[in-house]
Amino acid sequence: MVHGAELSVFIVLSLLVTVVGFGAGRWRRAKLDHLDEWGLGGRKFGSVITWFLLGGDLYTAYTFVAVPAAVYATGAIGLFAVPYTIIVWPIVFLVMPKLWQVSRNRGYVTASDYVKDRFDSRLLALAIALTGIVATMPYIALQIFGIEVVIEQMGVNVDIALITAFVVLALFTYVSGLRAPALIAIVKDALIGITVLILITYIPYRLGGFGAIFDRVQQVQLHQRAKPPVSYLTLPPSLHAAYASLALGSALALFLYPHAITGVLAAKGQRVIRRNAVYLIPYSFMLGLIALLGYMAIAAGTRPPKASGANGVVPALIDTMLPGPVAGFAFAAIAIGALVPASVMSIAAANLFSRNVYREFLARGATHAQEATVSKIASLVVKFGALAFILFVDKQNVINFQLAGGVLILQTLPAVILALYVPMLNRWAVLAGWAAGITTGIYWLSAEKFKATLHAFPVAGPQNRLYIALVAFLVNLGVVVVGSALAYALGARRQAGALTEADYLPATAV
């Protein structure tokens, strides 16, 4: 059944965003046939725009759908997103200004650009670039999935709606580059902010307050038939290690994703990044509130539509609790929330391809204009690849691929982050560590049939499962340390590649 009132509000808001997206190219106009301009918005984003861009980029629509769904389906462990999105900011505060500075000084557009110079190794740079592209593709597909679950709830033909949304997304990204998601992020945040405010006050009001909600959740917990029983209100000891490893592993991985690095490199100064590490924390509060929707759905007895599974629980809750136009507003917020990260992700993956694959291996000495053109086209390919992915691959598989992506991207940490601090790292050791991390990670994922990110490692005790990405990263790190120490012992000295100490310092250092 088509929900008319919801749909009309949804369409009006979508049109508004389309206009903003196409107009964005004219904002602080510059030559968009240069990768610095198209792919990084000219590196001119100040604190405010960076706040909207990074916030809109990282707290994706899928997060808003999946986090409460995880709480609804798996209980307290689903809340690991809260500690995860808190501890990520001290990490950013500490590390990212340095990566930004060296990238600014040397004109890097991607993390792989840095890896290539730092280790003087095209091969390692290629490995890091391909890891980024492969990890990003299913992430884009998940954003489409986020749009899909709300469209499903409104009773519209899903395929046609998705294709329309993606043609629009592809075109405005192609025309305006990173300026488009940066400006749309402002609209998105306004919509999401209002939506969260409504959801987090009106639904508890309908359900009799938070006390009543958690009382009812407790009743559900007591009378459940699930074996082993789901723990909702707190974490059982058997899940402590899983919870901590999920939070730490995810936090370490987040800023290795190409779309996160693109958002950071587009800032206009170190100061912008440090300040945003502080200012972006309120988003984590919003995410926490959204996670509570999972508890509200349990208390309200919401049943998600069969087609979406647990991931449909938030749209279903919105649909049953809110009047039509308000629900349409909320759905538009979620869908538009998906467009921002999808756009940045496709730009980031496209930059990796044009910079570190195309110019490095296919057309050495390509001009800036050629590079930007290849990037624009690659962004189209990436997006329609992701769309095909979601239309033709089973939903559960898309989610599984994204989980695997997290395992893969964390393996780039030594090459991208550790390299900023440890001069002794050896390029072959880092490459071997990357390969070891990816191999073991995929092995453990396959042991879980790619359906779970937690695995029972004998070391941690028979009961305690751990996040695969983190354990694979420890393997990786072990290889990097031992390998680099060996190389050092055998006479290989400091490997700074093409970089000097001055490359890490602000040009106008006082």
Partner 1 sequence: MLRSMRGTGRWAHLLLLLPFVGLLYPPLYARVEPRVSGVPFFIWYQFAWIAGAALVMIVAYRLIGDRGDV
Residues of this chain that bind partner 1 (CB under 8 A): 76, 79, 82-83, 86-87, 89-90, 93-95, 97-98, 101, 209-215, 233-237, 239-240, 243-244, 247-248, 270-271, 274-275, 277-278, 281-282, 284-285, 288, 292, 421, 423, 501, 504-506, 509
Closer CB to partner 1, residue 247 or residue 472?
247
Query: Cβ 325 to partner 1, closest distance in Å?
Result: 31
Closer CB to partner 1, residue 171 or residue 244?
244
Closer CB to partner 1, residue 79 or residue 322?
79
Query: Cβ 162 to partner 1, closest distance in Å?
Result: 34
Query: Cβ 25 to partner 1, closest distance in Å?
Result: 32
Element spanning 456, H or E: strand 454-456
Closer CB to partner 1, residue 181 or residue 269?
269
Give the list of residues 6+ apart from residue 219 with CB closer than 8 angstroms, or none: none
Beta-bridge mates of residue 462:
none
Closer CB to partner 1, residue 19 or residue 94?
94
Closer CB to partner 1, residue 111 or residue 390?
111
State how far the Cα of 171 lies from the Cα of 252, in Å rounded to an integer. Answer: 33
Residue 487 structure tokens: 């190389």
Q: How far is CA 258 from CA 150, 168, 261, in A?
A: 27, 22, 5
Closer CB to partner 1, residue 229 or residue 423?
423
Query: Cβ 445 to partner 1, closest distance in Å?
Result: 23
Query: Cβ 279 to partner 1, closest distance in Å?
Result: 9
Query: Cβ 71 to partner 1, closest distance in Å?
Result: 10
Query: Cβ 35 to partner 1, closest distance in Å?
Result: 24
Query: Cβ 103 to partner 1, closest distance in Å?
Result: 12
Query: Cβ 345 to partner 1, closest distance in Å?
Result: 26
Closer CB to partner 1, residue 19 or residue 422?
422
CA torsion angle for 155, 142, 402, 300 (degrees, to 10)? -50
State how far the Cα of 446 lies from the Cα of 304, in Å rounded to an integer. Answer: 29
Q: How far is CA 106 from CA 101, 103, 134, 164, 502, in A?
A: 9, 5, 26, 39, 11
Number of H helices, E strands in the chain: 22, 2
Query: Cβ 248 to partner 1, closest distance in Å?
Result: 6
The Cβ of residue 197 has, within 10 Å, a number of other Cβ atoms equal to: 12
State how far the Cα of 114 lies from the Cα of 348, in Å rounded to an integer. Answer: 15
Query: Cβ 284 to partner 1, closest distance in Å?
Result: 5
Give the list of residues 6+ apart from residue 186 with CB closer than 8 angstroms, or none: 52
Q: How far is CA 81 from CA 142, 244, 381, 451, in A?
A: 17, 10, 31, 19
Query: Cβ 50 to partner 1, closest distance in Å?
Result: 15
Task: Tell me which residue of 140, 29, 37, 46 sits closest to 389, measured CA to CA.
Answer: 140
CB 241 within 8 A of CB 464: yes
Closer CB to partner 1, residue 309 or residue 497?
497
State how far the Cα of 240 lies from the Cα of 245, in Å rounded to an integer. Answer: 9
Closer CB to partner 1, residue 233 or residue 369?
233
- Please tell me the total number of residues recorded for the chain in this structure: 510
For residue 390, the Cα-to-chain-centroid distance in whole angstroms is 17
Task: Tell me which residue of 154, 178, 138 sits closest to 14, measured CA to CA.
Answer: 154
**Omega prior to 181 cis, within 30 of 0:** no
Give the list of residues 6+ apart from residue 16 with CB closer than 8 angstroms, or none: 187
State how far the Cα of 506 lies from the Cα of 200, in Å rounded to an integer. Answer: 44
Closer CB to partner 1, residue 82 or residue 481?
82
Element spanning 166, H or E: helix 158-176
Closer CB to partner 1, residue 96 or residue 399?
96
Residue 321 structure tokens: 């609790």
For residue 467, the 8-state DSSP code is E
